[in-house]
Amino acid sequence: MEKGLFPSTPDDGELLLKNMASQVATYQVKYPIEGIGISVPGIVRKDGYMVTAGAIKPFYKVNLKEKCEAAFHLPVVLENDANCAAIAEQWLGNAQGIENYIVVVLGTAVGCGIIINGKVYQGAHGAAGEIGWSMQGPLDYTHDLEDDSWNFTSGVILGLYNRYYQATGQKISDARLILDLVRQGDVLATKVVDQYYDDVAKGLLNLICVFDPEVLLLGGGISANQEFLDNLTDRIEKIKRHHRSMNQLKNETIADIKPCLLRNDAGLIGAVYQAKKMK
């Protein structure tokens, strides 16, 4: 498998499409490309219309499938990035042979792919899995309630950045720096990360209680961090022990939480699988 990246994502949608088309043309010189699969953040309708597109603002309210097919001169299939991760894990990862499971991607924000009876659950409007909008804690109507959503409390970048900034007034360039401060014994960083583990663990267990999956898989760059996974697992087990019903059913109905086998490549691989199915 070959992969690469753009140094930055331009704010100009047409320029971004042009850059993507240039990459497609480069690979067409080396490979017989029959179709393109695209993993994209946001709410994607079945016809390729982007209701939202995460941080890629130029792709809001456009039919990205039509634009890409016009630019690439190839058939294109689009899917939400968390759904792509879930599809990839069923194809080649830790969900092989499993029909009911959830993949949660902890990245800048929080994404979620829900598989029910072997198929991606899209919801009525293609918006199923937008768990990042769910709210935690008391509601403060004096400010935008989205600032209290799971995206802003539990996304690796948004969650840790925002928490640390609120606690210290200091901005950081990389969430890993907060984990480094914890290792150094920094009191505020330790408090921020401790609350972060609580909120992520609560959110994951809430999903398990609602959907009763066979397994819940964690994806995103943080899923490759064994220290993070170990600490999160400890926090999840602590919550189970102190929750009467979960503790009673932990070996019967409460699903295990594991990392995605394909780690941060799951979204890309899921997009490839969607393209293969177009044949």
17-69 per-position pLDDT tens digit:
999 999 999 999 999 999 999 999 999 999 999 999 988 999 999 999 999 99
Locus of tokens 């939400």 = 80
Mean pLDDT of 217-236: 88
Mean pLDDT taken over the chain: 90
Residue 112: per-residue pLDDT: 96
119 by DSSP, 3-state: which? strand
Mean pLDDT of 5-28: 92
pLDDT above 70 for 157: no
Residue 77 in contact with residue 85, Cβ under 8 Å? no
Closest Cα partner for 215 from 111, 86, 127? Answer: 86
Residue 34: per-residue pLDDT: 95
Strands annotated E in the chain: 36-40, 49-50, 62-63, 76-80, 101-106, 110-116, 119-120, 215-219, 256-259
pTM: 0.90
For residue 28, how many other CB atoms are within 10 A of its CB? 13
Look up residue 132 and give its DSSP letter. Answer: G
Residue 164 in contact with residue 192, Cβ under 8 Å? yes
What are the respective helix, strand and coil percentages of the chain, to the nearest 5?
50, 15, 35
Percent over 90 (pLDDT), the chain:
63
248-272 per-position pLDDT tens digit:
988 888 999 999 999 888 999 999 9
